[in-house]
Every structure is written in structure tokens, then in C-alpha cells.
Amino acid sequence: MKKIFNGSRLKEARLYNKLTITELAEKLNVTKQMVSKYESGKSEPSFEKSLQLNDVLGYPREFFYTADKFFIDNEGTFFRSRLTATQKSKEPASIALKYSVIVRDFLEQFIDFPALQDREIYEGIDNPEELALSIRRSMDLGLEPIHDIIEVAELMGFTVINMDYQEDKVDAFSSMNTINGNSYFVITTGDSGSFYRQQFSIAHEIGHWVLHQNINPQELDKDEYKTMENEANKFASIFLLPKESFGNELKTKIVDEIDTYYNLKRKWNVSMAAMIMRARDLNIISADQEAKLYKQLHYRKWRNPEPFDLETKVTLPVAFKQSLELLIDENILQGHEIPLKIAEAYNLYLTPKMLAMICGVEPAIFMDNSQSKVVLKIKDFKKKQSS
């Protein structure tokens, strides 16, 4: 039976690679009208052109000759910096997020992940300070600084992915997704280059999860979206810098000297700018003192990057990586079987490189090395030591 070319899959692969129809046409050495016909299903590429797709787009040939065996209900994606990000920059991120949902759902049948909290229990809490404290209490975080927000998020049941989507205008993004009756809130970060910026970004996305239930951000106008972003920023600030601990500690310091925030940065794991903003929100400093502090930041050239930004490594999610290690170590699945099993269950063919990016591992883990003719043995070093 002849396999039918799936034009929508070609469009997905093109968007993931940030290519226009014209750019893809040039790479395939065909007209842009022909690429449009491929994508609309009015024509299909020759055998030779279909082989070219792997080299140009990085997807296996099978990807273009299958259809989805799944349906993902996406409630809408929250993009930080949506107001400046272009559609071209958001498309690859959204597609990568979809793939991460598939991988998470696949692993769910084998791995006992932390259960995603029921966010409805927080619906009746209108005070942002109390809301943030309630989530801290539910996670036994107390009022102390959060040393790794990614670890906290994974323990809360979020699916956290670090992806190299190489987009400066997209700091982080998140969305609630339902597939096969299972719901996953996925938080995705890129290479922000700053551990402290990452801390705030993840807390910001947790804010969307708890504050903006049943809201599709894509349906909001510019002003509504800006209000929603400000609400998530405020939550992140409160969550990372509680009034009862950070606020009280700050009151014992010289609050209008930038060295105070410099000295507190590595304790509270939050940027100096975020601490200044929080101090103003708590009325610990006045508007004039806030302006003075920012002038000191600029004078010392401590903005973008701030002190410690370049020397403090970002933390990475571990849940997917540990899941794969468990499956392989317990002989449940071999690494090279995982992409095959995903393809079998979802009709989604992903390369080892794509899976490796999603899971935070090296691509080699998904390759079959059992047929290699290189067979190494360990030296009999014990005999040499005794002689």
C-alpha cells in the first residue's frame, strides 16, 4: 500500500526550522508554488526530493508519510516577551512544546512522576501574598530562599524542559496540555545565560499556572496580555522574596545603597533589579530611592549582565533524564527502542537529536550500538597488581 505524503507535517517541519516557503523552495531547488502544493496536499515530492527533506529539515522521511495518532488539547501558550516576539520565533517553540508533551505522556506509562497539584484549591485566595505563601506551604518551602526553582517546579508535578530554541525574544513559555486523558503543564526555558533570570522566569510561569486558569492568552488583546504578564511578575516576586523573610531582612540593611542588594543576591538567588522592585512594592524604599539605586546600577555598569550572572551556571531539569536512565538500567527499554516505541504509539517520528534536546541527554542514548564490531574488554589489572 502506497504511503500518502502528509503536507501538514511538511509545514510543521518548515516552521520548526524557521523557514519561509521561499527559503525551503530554494533549498529543495523547486518553486515556492510547488512547496505550497506539497503543504496543501495538491502535490507530493518525488522520491529524491523526499529524501532531501531529511537533510534540509532534520526530520526522518517517515515523519512526512504518517498522520498524528494523538490529539493534544492546548489551553493556550503563555509566552514571556510575547509583545516583542515574532510569530516566526514562537512557532518552533510551540512545536517543540508539543513534542515534549508526547514524550512526557509516553514516559508516564513507566515512571511514577510527582503528581501535578490541583490548582483549583487556590481559586478562593485573592491576596497575592497569601497565594504565594500557600504554595510555599504546600511544598514545605517555609520562608527561606529558593535555591533551585526548577527542582521545586518538578517536585510540584510540572514538566520542565530546557530547549535550545535560540530565540532571544522568548525568555520562557508554558501551557496546560491534555492528551489521552492526562494533563501536563509544561514550562520551557531556553538558554537565558543567567541562573538568576531563570529563577524569575520559572516562578513567572508558575504564576500563570495558578493565576490564569481557563484563560487562553492568544485571545487577549495587547493591554489584557500586559496586565496578565504583570500579575505573573508580581507573583514571581512574592514567591521568591517573601515579605516576612526577605522584607524583614532588608529592613535591617541600608536600603538605598546598591551594595546591600549585591550582598543579598547570592543568598536569595534573585537578580538585584528584582530585589529593588520587590523593595519598592513593599514600600521599604521610596520612588526616589528606587531611582537612586538604578542610577547606581548603571554607574557601576551592573546591568545586563549583573554581577555573578556570568559565573553562576543555570540549573537543568532532571526528571526526563532520570526517567530514561531508569528505563535503561532496569532493562525495561533500550535507548534505541524509545523513538521506535514513540513512533508506534503516536505516529510521530523524531530523530535522536530532537529527543535528546527534549530530554536533556546526548543523542547517542537513542542509538543502537549493539551491532558495532568494536568490542572492548577490561584489562586483567588485578592479576598485574598481585604479581
68-105 pLDDT, tens digit each: 999 999 998 898 665 555 667 778 888 989 999 999 99
**Of 198, 232, 226, 187, which Cα lies nearest the Cα of 212?**
232
In terms of domains, do 44 and 152 share one?
A: no
- Same domain for 281 and 251, yes or no, is yes
Q: SS3 for 333?
A: coil
Which residues form the domain of 118?
A: 73-299
Look up the pTM and report it.
0.89
- Per-residue model confidence (pLDDT) at position 183: 94
pLDDT at 169: 57
Could you report the per-residue pLDDT of 257-271, keeping only the tens digit for each?
999 999 999 999 999
Q: For position 218, what pLDDT does the model report?
A: 87
Residues 194 and 81 in one domain: yes
R_g (Cα) of the chain, nearest Å:
24
* 100 and 145 share one domain: yes
Ranges under pLDDT 70 in the chain: 1, 80-87, 164-170, 191-192, 369-378, 381-387
- Write down the pLDDT at residue 10: 97
Domain boundary among 262, 277, 299: 299
Residue 314 resides in a domain: no
Residue ending a domain, among 299, 328, 359, is 299
Q: Is residue 274 part of a domain?
A: yes
Cα–Cα distance between 357 and 316 in angstroms, integer? 12
Same domain, 175 and 269: yes
Of 267, 299, 331, the position where a domain reaches its end is 299
57 and 114 co-located in one domain: no
Are 195 and 227 contained in the same domain?
yes
* C-alpha to C-alpha distance for 266 and 166, rounded to whole angstroms: 27
Phi, psi of 364 (to 5 degrees): -60, -25
Same domain flag for 82 and 12: no
Q: Are residues 79 and 11 in the same domain?
A: no
Considering Cα of 88, then 96, then 153, then 206, what sign does the dihedral take? positive
122: in domain:
yes
Tell the residue number behind the cell numbers 553562576, with chain if given: 312
Domain count of the chain? 2
Q: What is the pLDDT of residue 163?
A: 80
CATH number, domain with residue 40: 1.10.260.40
Which region holds residue 157: left if phi is over 0, alpha if psi is between -120 and 50, else beta? left
Residue 165 lies in a domain: yes
